[in-house]
Amino acid sequence: MTTGWRAARADLWPLLVTMLVVALTVGITVAVPTRLGERADTAVRTAVALADPPADLVVTSTYGPGNSDATADATDTTSSVDDAARAMVAAMPRSLRPVLGPPTAAASSTELGISTARLPAGGVLWMTYLWAGHEPAVRWVSGAAPGRPGDDGAVQLGLSEAVAQSLGVSAGDAVQTIKPDRSVVPVLVTGVFEALDPHDPVWAARPEVLRPTVGGPSTAPTTLVAGLLSAASLPAARAALEADGVTRTFRFPVDAQALDHEHSAALVRQLAALEASPDVLHAPGPAPRVTTQLDALLTQAGERVAATWSQATVLLAGLAGGALLVLLVAADLLARRRSEALRTVRARGATLAGIAGRAAAESAVVVGLGAAVGVMVGLLAAPGPVTWVWVGLVAVVGVLAPPSFAAWTAARSEARRVSTDRHQRRLARRVRTVRRAAFEIALLVLAVAALAALRRRGAVSASGPADLVLAAAPVLVAAAGALVLWRAVPPLLGGVLRVARGSRRAGPLLAVARARSTSAALPFVALVVVASLAVLCGALAGTARAGQSAGSWDAVGADALVRTTTPDPSLQVLAKTVAGADGVEAAAAGRVQARSQLFGVPGVDEVRVLAVDPATYETLLSRTPFGAAPELAVLSDASQAATTGAAPGRLPALVAADLLGSRPSLRWGDVTIDLDPVGTVPALPAATPDGAPAGATVVVDRAALAAVVTAVATERARRTGGTPPRAGQAVADPNTVWVVGPGAAAAARTASAESGGLVLARTQWLADHRSDPLVSGLLMLVALVAAACAGLAVLVVVLDAAASAPGRGRSLATARVLGLRRHDAARVAVGELVPPTLVAALGGTVLGVVLAGAIVAPLALRLVTGQSGNPAVAVPWWALMPAVLLAATVLVVVAVESTSRRRESLGQVLRVR
């Protein structure tokens, strides 16, 4: 024990380096999975909480024919609505109960037409009974609650103050409503109320009860209102609207905070079972139906989480691989420092097993302490379950490496017979060469196969232990590339040596000679691997950030976007108004039709139609990263005849390159028009604002589209004797306005306040995407792994320099005795250490950039950037810092060595040497 302690004290700092590497790697691999799990839960909850429309579980059913009785009392409503909701709560599967909140129920009529003196153009009315454990709490401002019908047989209804004011009615007024079959339903307004709690969830089932809304196009708006039925008045409404005029809706709200990623798959299966078999809920018939988008949201979130975890696994595998190589370098240094002691104990009769056992006992203590510290730090940073696979892998290599190197070093000290036969010696060298080549070729084949499989299958498919080889593909490729690069080092140093021989100074020759004699393969390979991983992480981070910016342009198409749910001619005026605002460089209005049928082109059934003013839109595009689009000028020239022509003709269009020369036809509304491809589509946003790929796009002149569609419709009406389209009828009214400039977002919000258009700012899209829990978590991991790999690279340089320090010290001391000055000795040390380090650093940099280009697609980095396609590799300047950092490390090492030898006198050197 005492001998072991003395040996450990003598070599304390390599042991501390080993402990540090183990603790760092274990801490990261313990904390990261837990943190990613937390962010996965946050991503699931955020996706559900922000869903529009909400992800509620909705059960709908009609009453069916022959089940209504106008004379029934409130108990009929209680049994058909209130009790039905309670029965479904009791029958709800246990796995869904923590996720779903108390239901709200609504028995709502079909759309009824209504017209009053204040609303002569007419509107839409719903008669609705609401329940959420109780009927809504209201205060009757005038009149009373509706009840059973009187002698007139009219359905009694209550209205809120806002609805009554919009209709111009009051308590006691009778109105006539029109059913879809044009029959009349008399309604009596018994009272006007105000809600005691307008924010009560019960009102969410039919918000028009409290306040009117406006729907339809801006040119022909429709007022939408709803009236409140009581439990006593619902039976009469059912009887008046026989047979299926009243629909019951039971809405179970989803508690997003009760969701997590771990149980999402089970919830998806349970929801699918409910949708397939609504009878499980004891839902009232006939033909109840269960609908929800919760299962789709959970599935989409699960796919994103799986992709993020696969990407993180690749990063963790790279970090673990680099750390294992550093542990091997540290073990090699430890064996070199103890080589004299190992030869001595071996010469005294110690067995190799005994030597390895003592080294294993020491390494077990060191690695055990490092692993314990790493686990503790990881749990402090992220309390949760420990992923023991990574911990075990690092611990096993950390424990086994020192005894292996110790036994190998001791075995090399034994005297071996050397054959005097030149042929036998040559054969022995060939055997060693073949073994080394076989190992290198096997590693190269494994790396190529892993990379090919990763590119073919993608990292997202990595889901089990067998796929760890795919996750380790980058580190395997880096190791194989390092071995190939190592083969180039001797010829490179040989060339430098030939140049150094022509120098008049001894320093360069000594430096290159020392570099040739002291360079070792293991530190070089380890340095190349960790440097390439650091650069790879930097390239991935830069690519992700640049890709997110490009993704924002893809999704928005400008600095700001104004959209309306229906085409609105006022957007043309809005675009002109915004174009003159401060901070706006250009604005353009257009019509975006996401899916339009295309005929006459095999394999293409639907296209996105972009109808714009070519000149205005070209000006806008020229101020975006998409650049100028001369194709739009061609479209403008070709569309002039179609714009002014009254006879039906072909519509000039820009299409995909593979559609040139075809004769496609486009369905627009209820007419089909022939297209005349005049050019290819320029660079345009490749995604829709909701992130979905835009697909094939056809660009047309909006004025020409309106003229051609009108001409085709007029000709059809002439042939069939139908009604021709009215002059000025909306055919290609815009539904989108794009705005570019630093003040685009503010100007768009101000101008669209009255139109009610939805404003989407590119900067807001970018901020929301970068703050996404999965995206931000993955990028933080990339930065962490990059920093860790850079630190490991520094450790490799220090360890390699320490391994060759004794020999370097003896050589420089001898050279000083022969006349080499002190500062020249430092230059020789720099010349010895810098070339291999720079070759490894620069080679690792090139490998990292090449790896980034190779794995961007299989890593599905588009899910991080929000682009519809794979992002282009963008290497930031700071990704090249490892080379500078390693060169600086060499200078620091040389300075420390020079300082330690400063007190060494030449007389002492002469006596010792």
Give the pLDDT confidence of 230-289 residue by residue, as tens digits: 888 888 888 888 777 888 899 999 999 999 988 898 999 999 998 888 888 888 878 889
What tokens were used for 388? Answer: 């023991």
Q: Give the mean pLDDT of 371-386.
A: 90
Note whether 462 and 471 are within 8 A (CB).
Answer: yes
What is the DSSP pairing of strand 222-229 with strand 289-291?
unpaired
pLDDT for residue 141:
92
Least confident of 134-138, 394-398, 513-517: 513-517
Q: How far is CA 38 from CA 42, 442, 777, 864, in A?
A: 6, 40, 10, 18
Share of the chain above pLDDT 70, in %: 86
Q: Which amino acid is at 379?
A: L
pLDDT per residue as tens digits for the range 679-714:
888 888 876 666 666 678 889 998 888 888 888 888
pLDDT for residue 604:
82
Q: Give the mean pLDDT of 33-48.
A: 90
d(CA 610, CA 704): 12
Q: Give the mean pLDDT of 21-36.
A: 91
Least confident of 79-93, 338-352, 787-801, 894-908: 894-908
Neighbours of 518 (CB within 10 A): 18
Share of the chain above pLDDT 90, in %: 19
The pLDDT-based confidence of 496 (bands split at 50, 70, 90) is low
Q: Which amino acid is at 373?
A: V
Buried b (16+ CB within 10 A) or exposed e, 583-612: ebbbbbbbbbbeeeebeebeebeebbbbbb
- More confident call, 906 vs 743: 743
pLDDT per residue as tens digits for the range 174-196:
899 988 888 888 999 999 999 99
Between CA 686 and CA 689, with CA 688 as vertex, the angle to 5 degrees is 130
CA dihedral angle for residue 497, residue 503, residue 508, residue 512, rounded to 10 degrees: 10
Residue with tokens 């080993």: 18
Q: 593 Cβ partners below 8 Å, 6+ apart?
A: 608, 609, 611, 668
Residue-averaged pLDDT of the chain: 83
d(CA 913, CA 901): 15
Note whether 794 and 840 are within 8 A (CB).
Answer: no
What tokens were used for 782? Answer: 């990339």
φ, ψ (nearest 5 deg) of residue 57: -85, 120
The answer, yes or no, to whether the previous bond of 53 is cis (omega within 30 of 0) is yes
pLDDT higher than threshold 80 for residue 299:
yes
d(CA 563, CA 758): 5
pLDDT for residue 465:
44
The pLDDT-based confidence of 7 (bands split at 50, 70, 90) is low
Which residues are paired to 160 by β-bridges? 193
Q: How far is CA 760 from CA 146, 704, 737, 741, in A?
A: 44, 28, 10, 14
**For the chain, what's the residue count?**
913
The DSSP annotation for 64-80 comes to -TT---TT--HHHHIII
- More confident call, 448 vs 509: 448
pLDDT for residue 751:
85
pLDDT for residue 799:
87
pLDDT for residue 906:
57
CB neighbour class for 353 (10 Å; exposed up to 12, middle 13-18, buried from 19): exposed
What is the DSSP pairing of strand 184-195 with strand 174-178?
antiparallel
pLDDT for residue 228:
92
Helix pair 352-381, 388-412: axis angle to 10 deg: 150
d(CA 693, CA 50): 21
DSSP letter (8 states) at residue 52: S
pLDDT higher than threshold 90 for residue 792:
yes
Half-sphere exposure of 329 (CA within 13 A, CB side): 33
d(CA 646, CA 641): 10
pLDDT for residue 464:
45
d(CA 890, CA 831): 10
Which residues are paired to 62 by β-bridges? 247
SS3 category, 156: strand
**Nearest Cα residue to 827 out of 393, 395, 509:** 509
Q: How far is CA 707 from CA 146, 253, 638, in A?
A: 54, 48, 14
pLDDT higher than threshold 60 for residue 2:
no
pLDDT for residue 554:
85
* Range ranked top by mean pLDDT from 465-479, 502-516, 792-806: 792-806
Note whether 770 and 777 are within 8 A (CB).
Answer: no
Flag whether the pTM goes above 0.75: yes
What tokens were used for 434? Answer: 């073949």
The DSSP annotation for 466-517 comes to GGHHHHTHHHHHHHHHHHHHHHHHHHHHHHHHHHHHT-SSHHHHHHHHHHHH
pLDDT higher than threshold 70 for residue 761:
yes
d(CA 661, CA 20): 67
Least confident of 128-137, 463-472, 540-549: 463-472
The pLDDT-based confidence of 466 (bands split at 50, 70, 90) is very low
d(CA 252, CA 56): 6
- More confident call, 678 vs 811: 678
pLDDT for residue 499:
65
pLDDT for residue 726:
60
pLDDT for residue 132:
87
Neighbours of 348 (CB within 10 A): 7
**Nearest Cα residue to 297 out of 262, 251, 264:** 264
Which residues are paired to 229 by β-bridges? 129
**Nearest Cα residue to 260 out of 54, 107, 39, 461:** 39
d(CA 610, CA 697): 7
SS3 category, 254: strand
Half-sphere exposure of 526 (CA within 13 A, CB side): 27
Rg (CA), the chain: 38
Q: Give the mean pLDDT of 120-148.
A: 88
d(CA 746, CA 755): 15
d(CA 646, CA 701): 16
